[in-house]
Amino acid sequence: MIRATNIPKPPSDFVGTFQYTIAPREKRAFHTVLDARKILAATTNPISEVRYTQTGDEISVALDHPIAGGKLREEMRLGSNGDGLVMRSMAREMFDGGGQAVRREQVPDFRHDTLGLPLATYPEVALPFLLGWMPLDGQQRSVYAWINDRFIAKVYVEVDGRHTLSIRGTKHETIEVIMYPDLNDWIPLGTMLTKLVKPFVPKYRMWYARHAPHRLVRFEGPYGPPGAPEVVLELVR
């Protein structure tokens, strides 16, 4: 078993705003009820925006995604804990095509000690935008993916190779990282069975720039836990 560790503090120059095209994943890896094709069908500008900011020791990751003709907005705030990052708060809102808020979710304080959450717990939707700060050295690591206070899953993270990606004519030298759930969280498989089933476990795939601050270049997988709409995000600028 790999002990979960906190995501390190980001490299310098990580602050900035970045845009990604968002599209349905061509071939689903999970049996999903929510279809990204349907959710994105009403989108006239399929662009997601990611904003990294820092105020004092607090880091904010804000995400805007087009969804069902409207917008999904999320903001995660993290603080320092030694050399790593710990979740402080999260806010999520969904707006319809007219700009009306139709869903709201707030976690003003993660209260790790009170709820018993491991410190290495992060919202699953934030992980693709944070894991590039992990040491990309080929060692397997793990963190906890927070879906809500009643559903937290341990996931493994490991490097799966180096690739040159061409996105709209621009070449990117990348490190591919995969993330997948620890099935032992649900079924005690043991070491041998865990190794045998690993090739068949659906995976999240992320490609990060090889050079610091290791921007996310491409993401492919569910936007959220297994069962969430499966999408592909590709860096525009």
DSSP 223: S
pLDDT tens-digit profile of 61-95? 999 999 988 999 999 999 988 879 999 999 999 99
Q: How confident is the model at residue 200 (pLDDT cuts 50, 70, 90)?
A: very low
pLDDT tens-digit profile of 95-105? 998 899 999 99
Put simply, whether the predicted model's pTM sits higher than 0.85 gets the answer yes
Q: How confident is the model at residue 237 (pLDDT cuts 50, 70, 90)?
A: confident
SS3 (DSSP) at 89: strand
Q: How confident is the model at residue 183 (pLDDT cuts 50, 70, 90)?
A: low
Question: 10 Å Cβ neighbour count for 39?
Answer: 19
pLDDT for the residue numbered 188: 57
Residue 197 clears pLDDT 70, i.e. is over it: no
SS3 (DSSP) at 40: helix
- Ordered DSSP codes for 51-69: EEEEETTEEEEEEEEEETT
pLDDT for the residue numbered 195: 58
pLDDT for the residue numbered 83: 75
pLDDT tens-digit profile of 117-138? 999 999 999 999 999 999 989 8
